[in-house]
Structure formats: structure tokens, C-alpha cells
């Protein structure tokens, strides 16, 4: 590993990016426009349906009858919880609108939530002999909730397309073939590309987050350092995936299709726009195999729940494992030449 050669490629790649005004402008203003748009469109919670937390303690036919009497109500999603404290935390964070425990004849509302008030009124005839409890929590706007998703999506596109297209263009224009004739090793080249893109992505994301925070004053309970770490791990994993996808392709049209095939499932299934709370278990399992899922979920937990890196160790470990797999496969399949 020659530091001088590594730094030369690292510097050249950064200069190439910052001189491209259209790419620079897109990375800066696209997430800002999305945040402004969604803050206007979803001025409330941004969720069209009510959600009711349900304690999993059904032991007899009488409670099953009670359950059916509640769950026959249309247009309300019922989400099962095994732990009452988790359900109450979700209620305080406005992720759900009511918590019901039929076994102990208790229910909880959030007096600061208009939806909680309305759901309580809907079930007023069924909750007449239930004991009422209150939980409170600072309201999380939809723009606060969607922030990790938008930033994560912007990072995903920057990581995948910023690395994939560049390497394929280098290979197609025989730049890689020329670099192969130099003392530069494949490891040095790939490392320089990876860390260059990581620096660019984290720099741009930090600028966008800081600028938008001045405008929207985002809800933040956790540590900015932890947020930066999970963001860096997520970006590293996505860049590694981009390197794998572009490891042998020589066609810009092909790499475009491959990158779209990689990015669209993540954009739809990683909790970017909507919560996976209450989603089918098969969908959640599929989402766990997507790097963006762990980036968004980890960042959202830090922002809205005050989680630490230890609390989101599952997401951290998943990102580290995926990064190792993607890098290993990318290095194994990497080709300097355009010929396959």
C-alpha cells in the first residue's frame, strides 16, 4: 500500500466530483427539496390510518371475543406487542395512537395526540369499563420521522451511482487498462475510490443535515456522534455494494439497470417513506437483507428514541457483515479490462 499513490487517486477523484457543478448541485438541493415538499404535503403525522397497539395476552375465549369486537373495526391497524413498555414508548412517540390490554382491562392514550383522542372516542363504548392511563411525549412531525429515510436514500443513490458509473466509465474508456500498467494495485485503486466516495457522501450529508436543521429544527434525542457513525457504516456498506455491482460490467446501460435493480427495492422496502410497523413478517425478513434498512432504522432510533450504538448493535453488525461480504466479492470479481 503506497500512501502517495493512494492519496493522488483520492485527491483526483474528489476534484473531479466537486468540479462537476450539476452533480454537486443535485446532491445538495435534491434532499432539501424533498424535505420541504414532504413537510408541506404531510403537515400532520403523514399517516393516513390509525394504529392501535395490542398486548399479546390472549388466554381464553372471552378475551378472544373481546379482541374480535375491537379488531372488527375497519380502517384501523392493530399491531401486537409482547412488552407493554415498548408499546407505551411507541405511543409516546406517536408511532401508534392507542394501547389496549384486554386481560387487565387497561388502556393508554397520549393526550398530546389528536389521533389518540379520536381513536379513544371511536372505542368509547368498548372501553367504558377499562382503566384509563395517560402517557406523554414530544410530538414527532412527519418531517422528523422521514428525515433519516430521505438522507439515507440520497446517500444510497450517491454511493451506488457515484461509484458504479465512474468505474464502468473508467473501464469503458480504457482508463483502468492504463492504470493497470502503472504501479497502482487493484487494492489501492478500489480503496481510494471507496474512501473518496465515503468522504464525499458524509461531507455532503453533513452539510445538508446541518442546513436543514437550521430551518426545521429536527427532533434529536440521541448523539450526533452516534448518528455520524451509523451514517458512515451505512455509506461504507452501500459503496461496497456499488463496487460489487460494477466489478465486471463494461456497459453504462447495463450498469444503469443493475444499479436501479439494487436501489429500487431498498427505496420501497427499507422504511424510507413509511413505517414497516405491522407489516407481514415475510416483508420484514426481506427488508433485513437490504443495507438501507439498517441505515435508516439505526439513524431513526438515534434521532427519535435516543438510542446508542449499543442499542442498535444489530443494525451495526448487519452493516459490518454486509460490507465485508460485498467487499470480498467485489475484490474477487474485479476486472481492470473491458473484456469479460
**Per-residue pLDDT, 48:** 46
Pairing of strands 50-55, 98-101: parallel
Residue 149 and residue 273 in contact, taking contact as beta carbons nearer than 8 Å: yes
Q: Map residue 219 onto helix, strand or coil.
A: coil
**Per-residue pLDDT, 236:** 94
Query: CA-based Rg of the chain, rounded to a whole angstrom?
Result: 24
Task: Point out which residues pair with 78 in neighbouring strands.
Answer: 52
> Per-residue confidence of the chain (340 residues) as pLDDT tens digits?
788 888 888 888 888 778 877 667 766 776 777 677 666 555 554 444 688 888 876 565 655 666 677 777 777 888 888 888 888 888 877 778 899 888 888 899 988 778 888 888 888 888 888 889 888 666 677 778 888 888 999 899 988 888 888 888 888 888 888 888 888 877 788 888 889 999 999 999 999 899 888 888 888 888 999 999 999 999 999 999 988 888 887 776 677 777 877 887 888 788 887 777 666 777 788 889 999 999 999 999 898 888 899 999 999 999 999 999 998 888 788 777 755 4
**Per-residue pLDDT, 103:** 80
H-assigned helices in the chain = 3-19, 21-41, 61-71, 84-92, 114-122, 142-172, 175-180, 186-216, 224-245, 252-269, 281-287, 291-305, 313-333
CA atoms within 13 A on the CB side of 81: 23
Residue the block writes with cell 412488552: 83
* All residues at 6 or more sequence positions from 324 whose CB lies less than 8 Å from its CB, including other chains: none
* Main-chain phi, psi angles of 333, to 5 degrees: -90, -5
**Per-residue pLDDT, 291:** 94
Rounded distance, CA 238 to CA 260, Å?
13
Please measure the distance between the N-terminal and C-terminal CA atoms of the chain and give it in whole angstroms: 27
Amino acid at each position: 500500500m503506497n500512501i502517495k499513490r493512494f492519496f493522488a487517486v483520492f485527491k483526483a477523484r474528489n476534484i473531479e466530483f466537486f468540479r462537476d457543478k450539476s452533480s454537486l448541485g443535485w446532491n445538495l438541493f435534491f434532499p432539501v427539496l424533498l424535505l420541504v415538499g414532504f413537510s408541506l404535503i404531510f403537515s400532520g403525522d403523514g399517516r393516513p390510518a390509525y394504529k392501535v397497539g395490542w398486548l399479546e395476552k390472549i388466554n381464553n375465549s372471552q378475551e378472544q371475543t373481546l379482541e374480535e369486537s375491537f379488531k372488527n373495526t375497519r380502517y384501523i391497524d392493530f399491531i401486537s406487542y409482547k412488552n407493554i413498555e415498548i408499546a407505551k414508548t411507541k405511543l409516546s412517540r406517536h408511532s401508534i395512537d392507542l394501547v389496549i390490554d384486554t386481560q387487565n382491562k387497561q388502556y393508554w392514550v397520549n393526550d398530546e395526540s389528536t389521533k389518540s383522542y379520536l381513536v379513544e372516542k371511536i372505542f368509547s363504548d368498548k372501553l367504558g369499563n377499562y382503566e384509563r392511563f395517560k402517557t406523554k411525549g414530544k410530538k414527532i412531525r412527519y418531517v422528523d420521522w422521514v428525515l433519516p429515510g430521505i438522507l439515507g436514500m440520497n446517500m444510497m443513490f450517491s454511493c451506488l451511482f457515484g461509484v458504479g458509473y465512474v468505474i464502468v466509465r473508467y473501464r469503458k474508456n480504457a482508463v483502468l487498462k492504463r492504470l493497470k500498467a502503472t504501479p497502482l494495485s487493484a487494492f489501492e485503486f478500489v480503496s481510494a475510490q471507496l474512501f473518496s466516495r465515503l468522504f464525499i457522501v458524509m461531507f455532503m450529508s453533513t452539510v445538508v443535515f446541518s442546513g436543514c436543521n437550521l430551518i426545521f429544527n429536527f427532533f434529536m434525542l440521541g448523539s450526533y456522534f452516534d448518528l455520524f457513525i451509523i451514517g458512515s457504516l451505512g455509506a461504507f456498506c452501500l459503496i461496497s455494494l456499488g463496487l460489487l455491482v460494477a466489478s465486471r460490467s463494461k456497459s453504462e446501460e447495463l450498469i444503469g439497470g443493475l444499479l436501479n435493480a439494487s436501489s429500487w427495492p431498498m427505496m420501497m422496502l427499507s422504511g424510507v417513506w413509511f413505517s414497516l410497523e405491522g407489516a407481514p413478517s415475510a416483508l420484514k425478513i426481506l427488508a433485513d437483507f437490504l443495507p438501507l434498512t439498517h441505515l435508516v432504522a439505526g439513524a431513526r432510533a438515534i434521532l427519535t428514541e435516543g438510542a446508542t450504538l449499543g442499542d442498535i448493535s444489530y443494525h451495526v453488525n448487519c452493516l459490518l457483515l454486509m460490507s465485508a461480504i460485498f467487499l470480498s466479492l467485489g475484490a474477487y470479481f474485479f476486472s481492470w479490462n473491458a473484456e469479460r
